[in-house]
Amino acid sequence: MSRLLRRAVVGARGQRLGRLSDVIVRLRGTDYPLVTGLVAELGGRRVFVPAESVTDWGTEQVLLSSARVDLREFERRDGEVLLRADILGHRLIDIPRARLVRAYDLELAHTPDGWVLAGVDTRPTSWWRRALGLTRPAHDRHDADGGEPIGSGCRDWKAFEALIGHEPTVLLRSRAGRLRRLKPPQIADLLEEASGEEQTELLQQVHADPELEADVFEELDEDRQSRLLRDRPDAEVAGVLARMRADDAADAINDLPQERRQAVLELLPTGQRAKVTALLGYNPTSAGGLMGLDFLALPRDTTVAAALDRVRTATTLQPEALTTVFSLNDHGKLRGAVSLVALLQAAPTARLREVTEPDPVRVHPDADLIDITLLMTDYNLLSLPVVDDDDHLIGVITVDDALESTVPNNWRRREPAPHPDPADDEIEPSANQSGAPQAGQQPLSGAAPQPSGPDPT
């Protein structure tokens, strides 16, 4: 792309018409974006040049089949992306590595459908190459297997999600689902690193999947979550909180301005509102404030087979809450606890009273964080039951909530440990499956065809 932007646009007889300003591609879901035209600067005006009018752009100029050009001012249509204005020099989401990177150069390659956007170079070009107008040689861009780059940082376009900032294309891009390959904590990390404009676009894409949106908001740090929710109307805030865990929703409501809390609370569904209201009565740093209301407690005469069936069908409970099953006596009091692994290893006909640990460790709602963490550490607990004065089970503290509460706030700002780079076959389908440009097709730069992968330029 950096080479193209320096080239003159000339007519069929060699007459100079102007200079190439940008390249237009059309998004095609999971396929490579197709080049549909160019934007040329002619006499101080930006005009559209259809891709089919270009007969040659592999030399030092862009040759058109005719000198006749529509001189109306170029206007972008829905689904169109401008490579220079929208992507080159902008940040993208590196999906396999779950981080924001910058596009320093782009690769175009020829396919049976036409020219496509095939690759992204995420490493800046050295100053001396920029001064001499050079880019890294195309044949150095990929290894012999078409996989990891050799030095250049240029990789397959399908490994990235663009943050284009052009609202009409957001829906088209979100349908491709690349962002949904990331886990909610990874998307939350991206939001915390992103600029204001990048945050807006990320949230637009996440908003298309309400369940994912709720999971992402649960993972945000309190300050960021509070700022993002405050910018939304009450109905939208309630829509997000309705899908969050009740304990996280209660924390989010506590972080809202006082004058908005009741209005948002009243917009919640009845069941969620009852849970959140109950949790709001506890100190946020106590066991009552930390506990979740998802747990599985069964009569102690329940068989192991029946208990496992209840675990299997408890699809509305968070998975962390199902690592332990609790048993109750005839009066509904807590009498035992058993891990899911122990249940799986027990005889199906055995009763819970026979396999549960009697008199399990528990705390009252007013227990503080130090007591909670010491108990969970000393007894190697994945979940800690919370009981009332009558020994009735009212909630459970899971180990992830305990860890989150004990991590110092300044640690959250630390650079996360790097993820091991995934194997190529875990990032994208093979070239033959995905429709990637194949070897033997003409690269724009005129370099020799590569053994596999997109023909680079």
- Which CATH number fits the domain that encloses residue 309? 3.10.580.10
188 in the same domain as 113:
no
pLDDT on residue 416: 58
* Final residue of a structural domain among 406, 431, 448: 406
pLDDT on residue 448: 31
Query: Residue 422: inside a domain, yes or no?
Result: no
156 in the same domain as 21:
yes
For the chain, the domain total comes to 3
Query: Residue 217: inside a domain, yes or no?
Result: yes
- Compute the distance between CA of residue 37 and CA of residue 51 in angstroms, rounded to an integer: 4
- Compute the distance between CA of residue 454 and CA of residue 457 in angstroms, rounded to an integer: 9
pLDDT on residue 143: 34
pLDDT in tens, the chain (457 residues): 888 887 888 887 778 888 899 999 998 878 899 999 999 888 788 999 898 888 887 778 888 888 777 788 888 887 789 999 999 999 999 999 899 999 999 999 889 988 999 999 998 765 445 545 555 544 344 433 333 443 345 799 999 988 876 555 554 555 546 788 899 999 999 998 898 888 888 888 888 888 889 999 988 888 889 888 988 999 999 999 999 989 889 999 999 999 999 999 999 999 999 999 999 999 988 999 999 999 999 999 999 999 999 999 999 888 888 999 999 999 999 999 999 999 999 999 999 999 999 999 999 999 999 999 999 999 999 999 999 999 999 999 999 888 888 877 666 555 656 555 555 444 444 333 344 554 334 444 433 333 334 444 4
- Which CATH number fits the domain that encloses residue 222? 1.25.60.10
Longest dimension (CA), the chain: 95
Query: Residue 292: inside a domain, yes or no?
Result: no
Query: Residue 144: inside a domain, yes or no?
Result: yes
388 in the same domain as 270:
no
Query: Residue 361: inside a domain, yes or no?
Result: yes
146 in the same domain as 58:
yes
142 in the same domain as 37:
yes
The dihedral region occupied by 32, where left means phi > 0, alpha psi between -120 and 50, and beta the remainder, is: beta
Query: Residue 172: inside a domain, yes or no?
Result: no
190 in the same domain as 129:
no
> Do 198 and 206 touch, CB atoms closer than 8 A?
no
Give me the phi and psi of 81, to 5 degrees please. -125, 135
pLDDT on residue 398: 93
* Final residue of a structural domain among 363, 379, 406: 406
Sign of the alpha-carbon dihedral angle for 115, 117, 123, 129: positive
Domain residues for 28? 4-161
* Final residue of a structural domain among 103, 131, 161: 161
344 in the same domain as 246:
no
147 in the same domain as 76:
yes
20 in the same domain as 156:
yes
Query: Residue 127: inside a domain, yes or no?
Result: yes
100 in the same domain as 209:
no
- Compute the distance between CA of residue 176 and CA of residue 169 in angstroms, rounded to an integer: 11
Buried b (16+ CB within 10 A) or exposed e, 16-48: ebbebbbbbbbbeeebbbbbbbbbbbbeeeebb
Residue entry with tokens 């200079």: 19
Query: Residue 450: inside a domain, yes or no?
Result: no
- Which CATH number fits the domain that encloses residue 42? 2.30.30.240
Alpha carbon 420 to its chain's center: 17
398 in the same domain as 339:
yes
Mapped onto helix, strand or coil, the DSSP state of residue 215 is helix
Task: Find, among 278, 251, 248, 253, the residue nearest to 263 by Cα.
Answer: 253
313 in the same domain as 249:
no
